Amino acid sequence: MLLVDYQSGLLSLVRDIEPDRSKNNVLALADLAKHFKLPTILTTSFEDSPNGPLVPKLKALFPDAPFIRDRTRSTPGTTPTSSTPSTPRAGSS
């Protein structure tokens, strides 16, 4: 299960359903993943921005899950970094 960018600030931007309902839906999905022991990966982007941190209940449900902080997209005046190791492309040396 890949849970991408379920961050407090981003949930408030959901417009097709109420933000609380969206949050409850993802928490229900996460509960199912936990129940069925699905391998789970959590990601965030720009946690120090209005995106905010990962929804705390998700991190609590999966304390040992891989947690990827995406900082590969640069913000003006910053240097992009990534928490994931780079891998060579096929055919490159």
For the chain of 93 residues, list the mean pLDDT of each consecutive stretch of 10: 91 86 95 97 90 93 93 50 44 48
**For a pLDDT cut of 70, what percent of the chain falls above it?**
75
pTM to 2 decimal places: 0.69
**b/e map 47-67, b = 16+ CB within 10 Å:** beeebbebbeebeebbeebee
